[in-house]
Amino acid sequence: MAVVGSGVAGLVTALDLLDRRPELTVALIDKGVSGESGSTPLAQGGLAAAVGPDDSPAMHAADTARAGDGHTDPRAVAVMAAETPARVADLRRRGAVFDTQDDGSLALAREGGQQVGRSVRAADATGAEMFRALRDAAIEKARNGSLVRLQGMVVDLPLATTPEQPVIGAWLLCDEIAGGMATPSQDAGLVLLRAQAVMLATGGCGGLYAGTTNRDEATGDALALAGRAGAALQDLEFVQFHPTGLKSADGRFQRFLLTEALRGAGAHLLDADGNRFMLDRHPDAELAPRHVVAKAILDQPGGAWLDARMIPDHQLAEEFPTVLTGARTFGFDLATEPVPVEPCEHYMIGGVATDLHGRTSVPGLYAAGEAASSGVHGANRMAGNSLAQSCVFAHRAALDMAARLDGAHADTDPEPPTFGRDTPVTADGSERTDLRTAMSAGGGAIRDADGLQKLGQVIDDLRAAAYRAWGGPKPPMVRDALEVDSMLVSARAIVDSALHRTESRGAHFRTDYPDHDPVWAGRRQRVQLTG
């Protein structure tokens, strides 16, 4: 079994599978240094779960559907809402320590789109605490030899030459590393990992945008890998922009998020005159669904500020140490002044199309976490549901694998992938920078046909330039070029989907089609890559 990605979705898949099938060996593939890649350690707000006395799975499902703006899959939503409390219990069993109240019950934060406080949290570093507990559990599995962590980038998914086309493993471009507690020593180069099944848990596409809360390594790898293997992609036009990224004075993106839980604790959004503007935009004001808040901020001609001065100093220090300290490193003090904010790319809502067990349209290939699209988020993800759905559907995928895997590997000997010239003509990183700038400008939170068409032309021009540098359509066996290739493929698919959906819904807002269109209600766009 190969798990591509070592965030919460990948770790839950590997651990839950080995709990049920301890005789198996799982290869956990990490694209970067452990804890320094992926989005899980960066997640601040919390994990949405109906565990409070005034909450229920039905309320969780209703809030999720409302935030999804008429586009959620009711079956997926019901499954997530019903099963998340059990996944919280799993995390605590594995050692995750969440904030509690004096009576020992979980302390729950209220975030955008939630009727009640629902987010299980560890101050404002919930993802980091979940990752710590899951990584410690994975290290224990590594000690007994059932789990092996490998570091590198998966570049191809070989298929058996059968009508069913089952995935039989993954081609991995290894990093050269000395090894460590859970990672063996590796030489740089291409290796084939044979596996009965492959889980794609590579995260999202934040690296395609200049303004993002994600790391540069989030280059849409799952879209390119799964699409080229023949798997369907869906809902790619829906990319969520978090309303409150910290805005710098010089216009540069800070890549620092001011968690939604601040607004749940009472912080307000102010316009240039110091007035609250969300009161007239939505009944939930600052805790409206994210696409509503993001659009309202972008509508302010003089900019927007987050004012957290009404939150007591002791509460800021205890519940929000990450954002309090982080804002100060950029010259802002949440305790004494409003701080400037702007929407920035945060979450890929669409992704590799899956069923309720993480299965894609290609036998043997699974997807979970931000890389997957089960329909649970609809057109806009509710706060707290990222960690929730990752745990739920990774667990369900692990159960499905445990029931299906028989321990035998395909004996097919696949040809290795082909690459372009060894030394590209250019390697200055300009393609990546130009693409990210163009995506933020034309494919950001507000779009129109003209901007999307111009963006599509920029992508095509960048692809043509890359082909000239590579000596053809295949990138060289160089990490940067391989990531740029994934970025270009993913960006073009996102733009095409955004152009085709001629309405505004959730995170997809078009000024030339500003309203819902009943023709699009419930319609999912599926994308099949041709090469």
Say what the pLDDT of residue 335 is. Answer: 94
Domains of the chain: 2-237+349-404 (3.50.50.60), 248-343 (3.90.700.10), 430-527 (1.20.58.100)
The DSSP symbol for 478 reads -
Distance of alpha carbon 439 from alpha carbon 211, whole angstroms: 9
Nearest 5 degrees, angle CA 225-CA 229-CA 231?
95
Q: Supply 350's token pair.
A: 């669409």
Distance of alpha carbon 209 from alpha carbon 150, whole angstroms: 28
Q: Supply 197's token pair.
A: 């099944």
Asked if residues 370 and 223 have their Cβ atoms less than 8 Å apart, the reply is: no
Say what the pLDDT of residue 179 is. Answer: 73
* Helix H or strand E segment including 488: helix 479-500
User: What is the DSSP track for 204-233?
Assistant: --GGGSSSBSS-TT---HHHHHHHHTT--E
Strands 26-30 and 47-48: unpaired
Torsion angles phi and psi, residue 372, rounded to 5: -100, 155
Q: Supply 351's token pair.
A: 């992704």
Q: Encode 293-317: b = buried (16+ Cβ within 10 Å), e = exposed.
A: bbbbbbebeeebbbbbbebeeeebe
Say what the pLDDT of residue 411 is. Answer: 66
Say what the pLDDT of residue 260 is. Answer: 86
Distance of alpha carbon 232 from alpha carbon 246, whole angstroms: 35
Asked if residues 395 and 134 have their Cβ atoms less than 8 Å apart, the reply is: no
Strands 147-156 and 233-234: unpaired
Say what the pLDDT of residue 291 is. Answer: 82
SS (H, E, C) 295-344: HHHHCCCCCEEEECCCCCHHHHHHHCHHHHHHHHHCCCCCCCCCEEEEEE
- Count other C-beta atoms under 10 Å from residue 423's C-beta: 10
Positive/negative CA dihedral, 287, 293, 299, 304 = positive
Say what the pLDDT of residue 56 is. Answer: 98
Q: Supply 254's token pair.
A: 């800070």
Active site residue 290: yes
Asked if residues 356 and 76 have their Cβ atoms less than 8 Å apart, the reply is: yes
Say what the pLDDT of residue 72 is. Answer: 97
Say what the pLDDT of residue 38 is. Answer: 72
Determine which one of 21, 87, 118, 290 is catalytic: 290
Asked if residues 155 and 121 have their Cβ atoms less than 8 Å apart, the reply is: no
pLDDT in tens, the chain (531 residues): 999 999 999 999 999 999 999 999 999 999 977 666 677 777 778 999 999 999 999 999 999 999 999 999 999 999 999 999 999 999 999 999 999 999 999 999 998 889 999 999 998 889 999 999 999 999 999 998 899 999 999 999 998 877 666 888 999 999 988 877 667 888 889 999 999 999 999 999 999 998 888 888 899 999 999 999 999 999 999 999 988 988 876 656 557 889 888 998 999 999 999 999 999 999 999 988 888 898 899 899 999 999 999 999 999 999 898 899 988 988 899 999 999 998 899 999 999 999 999 999 999 999 999 999 999 999 999 989 999 999 999 999 999 999 988 766 666 778 888 888 776 555 456 888 899 999 998 999 899 999 999 999 999 999 999 999 898 999 999 999 999 999 999 999 999 999 999 999 999 999 999 999 999 998 999 999 875
Say what the pLDDT of residue 250 is. Answer: 63
